[in-house]
Structure 1
Amino acid sequence: MPDNPRPAGDRPEGERIAKLLARAGVASRREVERMIADRRVAIDGLILETPATILKDLRGVTVDGKPVAAPEPTRLFAFHKPTGLITAESDPKGRPTIYNALRNALPRKTPRLMPVGRLDLNTEGLLLLTNDGELKRQMELPSSGIPRTYRARTFGDVTQEMLEELIDGITIDGVHYGSIDANLERRTGRNQWIELTITEGKNREVRKVLEHLGLQVSRLIRTAYGPFELEDLPRGAAREIRSHELGRFRSQIKRSGSQ
């Protein structure tokens, strides 16, 4: 039973079980580590004690007593999230989640999907979902520098010069937000649409920055995540990213990660 892994130099070939389970679509790597801490993962019937366990494959591994299926090919879906949905599998307050809408939006026999990042209750637009927990983690890491683009309808007084200052980043209530590329699109009186591109994706980042500038945000739409765009995808609908687009994107992530 590999509960006490040997030093790195003596380890057998393989990968950490948390990484293997994430790739198999069980959950994200962080969620798998919590599952292991909760004693929900076993190997050949013996409860696993550490996520640092090295394995070549998932043979004999169970989660909640159920065998783990072999990893399926990585898949990525684009979903046009409407407002009023929680980006979670369930909500203690009983509010509808993205999975309520996805039941009708996805093809039959679609594997279990995990959202890449989150969109809050009142934010709409592009939400990516994957069955590969490792890809999810790579795309969410701020260090990956993957750009996310939003369009915000706001009310208040702002100038292009004020927005251009965000390119150097901004600190709000002790939290620093990195470089933001922001541009006025069009204005009618004190109402305007602003396009913003961020790379960190901190919690409610776009709303907090715009509110710090004295603006009221009445609508927020994510239009792109990396090379993937919302385009004309209807609200509440989903489409699968083509395998060659996904392959090209993954190779770009690997190249940027090795630099």
Structure 2
Amino acid sequence: MTNALERLQKVIAQSGVTSRRKAEQLILDGKVKVNDKVVTELGTKVSSNDKIEVNGVQLEKELPVYFMLYKPRGVISSVSDDKGRKVVTDFFPEVSERIFPIGRLDYDTSGILLLTNDGEFANLLMHPKHGVEKVYIAKIKGIPSKEDLRMLLKGVKDKKDVLKVIRYKIISTEKKKNTMILELTLKEGKNRHVRRMMEQIGYPVLKLKRERYGLLTPEGMQPGDFRPLTPKEVNQMRNNAQKL
């Protein structure tokens, strides 16, 4: 927050408490106070000098931060785990801001994961209508035919979901080991999207990595490494999502 006036729901979203849409509903429901007074008007504007409470908890006035983590396999994409397993925020012991992951990567999936305390930014990237491209490298068991691979473009049904890619590329084929490595590009991110999709056509995933997220790649990074995003990268990701 700065001394400039900003919409209340935007400030709440940027604090990482929730998305802007949910913040709007909290305001309408009378769950938000500004300077100890309940506010229910969505057009309300506030400054950094105002005291804001959501569900009785005062917002911490954090500056937004943005990080890219090269998530290793065997790590939970969460801020905590009731089974005591390693979570992605464990890689940021010196970061004081309340960061959280933008979306998820499966426990056994490695690759790019973004973390931030900016709820609005996170919601923008995760919203299906914005269609931010995500590129995965998948090692699969079996060697699918061209017809099998075309099914990925048309969409594969699994329960209530239709899972598909916008394009694919064969990286390599190992006939002796009966495996193939594919590059898969998605504009969606349903739960276990790639694994479920490949299982449905009969070629289970043996290993999976997210190689690109929008414009970002983990070039020069090793599993467990992280770095802050540059202001240019943050703006590029935001602008790209808004254009889409």
The interval holding the TM-score normalised by the smaller chain is: 0.7 to 0.9
Give CA-to-partner distance per residue, 1:15-53, whole Å, 9 cap, x none. 3x44321113334446757987999754333567x6x64
1:19 match? 10
Query: Number of matched residues?
Result: 236
Cα offset, 1:55, TM superposition: 2.3
8 Å Cα contact 2:133-2:214 kept in structure 1: yes
1:56 match? 45
8 Å Cα contact 2:137-2:181 kept in structure 1: yes
Alignment of 1:181 with 2:171, yes or no, is: no
Distance 1:53 1:33, change over 3 A: closer
Whole-angstrom CA distance in 1 between matches of 2:187 and 2:113: 15
Residue among 75, 83, 95 paired with 1:93: 83
Alignment of 1:84 with 2:74, yes or no, is: yes
Whole-angstrom CA distance in 1 between matches of 2:85 and 2:148: 37
| Identity within the alignment, % | 31
Cα offset, 1:250, TM superposition: 2.1
Whole-angstrom CA distance in 2 between matches of 1:33 and 1:95: 34
Cα offset, 1:114, TM superposition: 2.1
1:137 match? 123
Cα offset, 1:182, TM superposition: 2.0
Alignment of 1:218 with 2:201, yes or no, is: no
Whole-angstrom CA distance in 2 between matches of 1:221 and 1:210: 14
Whole-angstrom CA distance in 1 between matches of 2:205 and 2:78: 23
Alignment of 1:148 with 2:134, yes or no, is: yes
Alignment of 1:169 with 2:155, yes or no, is: yes
Runs of at least 5 residues in structure 2 that lack an aligned partner in the other structure: none
Amino acid at match of 1:80: Y
1:157 match? 143
Whole-angstrom CA distance in 1 between matches of 2:108 and 2:43: 42
Cα offset, 1:168, TM superposition: 2.4
TM-score between both structures, scaled by the size of structure 1 = 0.78
2:36 match? 45
1:119 match? 105
2:217 match? 229
Cα offset, 1:134, TM superposition: 0.5
Runs of at least 5 residues in structure 1 that lack an aligned partner in the other structure: 1-12
Q: Secondary structure at the match of 2:122?
A: helix
- Larger mean CA deviation between 232-241 and 199-208 belongs to 232-241
Cα offset, 1:143, TM superposition: 0.6
Give CA-to-partner distance per residue, 1:54-111, whole Å, 9 cap, x none. 4211612135755434452x432110111111111112222221112232xxxx4553
TM-score between both structures, scaled by the size of structure 2 = 0.83
Amino acid at match of 2:53: T
Distance 1:109 1:84, change over 3 A: closer
Cα offset, 1:248, TM superposition: 2.8
1:239 match? 227
Give CA-to-partner distance per residue, 1:108-127, whole Å, 9 cap, x none. 45532221110111111110
Q: Secondary structure at the match of 2:223?
A: coil
Distance 1:207 1:38, change over 3 A: farther
Residue among 153, 160, 184 paired with 1:196: 184
Amino acid at match of 2:199: E
Cα offset, 1:199, TM superposition: 0.5
8 Å Cα contact 1:180-1:197 kept in structure 2: yes
